[in-house]
């Protein structure tokens, strides 16, 4: 990764650091009508779908959430009033889905993930593609319930058949991890390849892991590095962290601990718990950077809070000492 590309990643995330408080009540009353709000609803659903298909759905969806809030702000709409409109106009799958999305991320209302999932299910049954994607990702990452896992596979298969890039990537995850289907690493590899060919940065990252560990293909560390780099250049959080691993361990490239730390730190600041753990470890050991135990504990706490077991164990050990 060149310095220009590295700087562009930082600028990219700075650019989407959106303020949410600019609109005023008079804007929506004076300028926004039902037809306009219906258009905004459709625009937001298309925006979310496009970003998911690009692979911009890391950091637990908070990056896309900023795009959503920015779009609403640019249309001079107050979040709470827009939420009320959604609540009172549940007349199509897009408005049903978006009400679920607002509940899932606490936009204009209190966070209510259970209500959100029910709305996603309702929109999904109406063949809403982005609701199906969100529901799939929830069930892939957050449940061990067999019926949910079976639904994740079924929806992913349906979306992949419609040439949906993120659906292909999710179906690859199902085949790789045995979610609703028997494990088939070759199918997983093929699906990640198709998703990557459609410029899905998550697919690129997962394909990189296939080449790194020989999942459904032969090990090729150079290809692995190139795919991680391409994913990172598209500002994918997981790709950035994977590329940091390559520089740390010399996978497909020369060892460069300083560049590795810089990349881990970008991903850590974007709340990737894996990257937070390695930033903490590098501060603890002084491996490639100046040793700083206060920073080490700070980042172990960040990672542990997000459920990273290694960070939790390490933090307990350090605090006891």
* pLDDT at position 55: 92
Q: Give the CATH number of domain 32-142.
A: 1.25.40
Q: Which long-range contacts (C-beta less than 8 Å, at least 24 apart) are formed by 286-292? A: 287/257, 288/257, 288/258, 288/260, 288/261, 289/257, 289/258, 289/261
Half-sphere exposure of 234 (CA within 13 A, CB side): 25
Structure tokens at 37: 């709000």
Whether 190 has a pLDDT exceeding 80, the answer reads yes
**Residue position matching structure tokens 């962290």:** 241
159-254: CATH, from 1.25.40.10, 2.30.29.30, 1.20.1440.230, 3.30.420.10: 1.25.40.10
For the whole model, what pTM was predicted? 0.85
Whether 235 has a pLDDT exceeding 60, the answer reads yes
Q: How far apart are CA 173 and CA 180, in angstroms?
A: 10
Rg (CA), the chain: 21
The model's pLDDT over 131-163, given as tens digits with 9 standing for 90+, comes to 999 999 999 987 778 889 999 999 999 999 999
- Tell me the average pLDDT across 19-29: 38
CB-based contact 239:205 (threshold 8 Å): yes
- For the chain, the domains span 32-142, 159-254, 256-320
Asked, colleague to colleague, whether 32-142 and 159-254 share their fold, the answer is yes
């Amino acid at each position: 990764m060149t310095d220009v590309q590295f700087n562009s990643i930082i600028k990219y995330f700075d650019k989407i650091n959106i303020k949410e408080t600019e609109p005023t009540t008079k804007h929506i009353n004076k300028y926004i009508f039902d037809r306009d709000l219906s258009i905004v609803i459709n625009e937001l659903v298309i925006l979310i779908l496009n970003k998911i298909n690009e692979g911009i759905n890391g950091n637990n969806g908070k990056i896309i959430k900023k795009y959503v809030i920015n779009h609403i702000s640019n249309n001079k709409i107050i979040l709470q009033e827009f939420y009320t409109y959604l609540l009172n106009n549940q007349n199509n799958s897009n408005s049903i889905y978006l009400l679920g999305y607002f509940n899932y991320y606490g936009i204009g209302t209190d966070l209510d993930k259970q209500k959100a999932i029910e709305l996603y299910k309702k929109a999904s049954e109406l063949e809403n593609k982005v609701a199906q994607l969100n529901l799939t990702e929830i069930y892939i990452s957050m449940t061990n319930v067999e019926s949910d896992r079976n639904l994740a596979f079924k929806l992913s298969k349906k979306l992949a058949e419609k040439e949906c890039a993120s659906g292909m990537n999710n179906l690859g995850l199902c085949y790789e991890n045995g979610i609703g289907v028997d494990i088939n690493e070759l199918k997983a590899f093929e699906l990640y390849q198709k998703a990557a060919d459609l410029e899905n940065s998550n697919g690129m990252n997962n394909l990189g892991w296939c080449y790194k560990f020989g999942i459904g293909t032969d090990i090729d560390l150079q290809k692995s590095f190139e795919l991680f780099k391409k994913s990172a250049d598209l500002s994918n959080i997981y790709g950035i962290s994977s590329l940091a691993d390559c520089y740390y361990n010399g996978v497909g490239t020369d060892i460069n601990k300083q560049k590795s730390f810089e990349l881990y730190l970008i991903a850590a600041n974007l709340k990737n718990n894996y990257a937070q753990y390695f930033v903490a470890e590098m501060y603890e050991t002084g491996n490639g950077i100046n040793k700083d135990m206060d920073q080490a504990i700070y980042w172990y706490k960040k990672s542990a809070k997000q459920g990273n077991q290694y960070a939790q164990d390490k933090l307990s050990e350090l605090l006891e000492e």
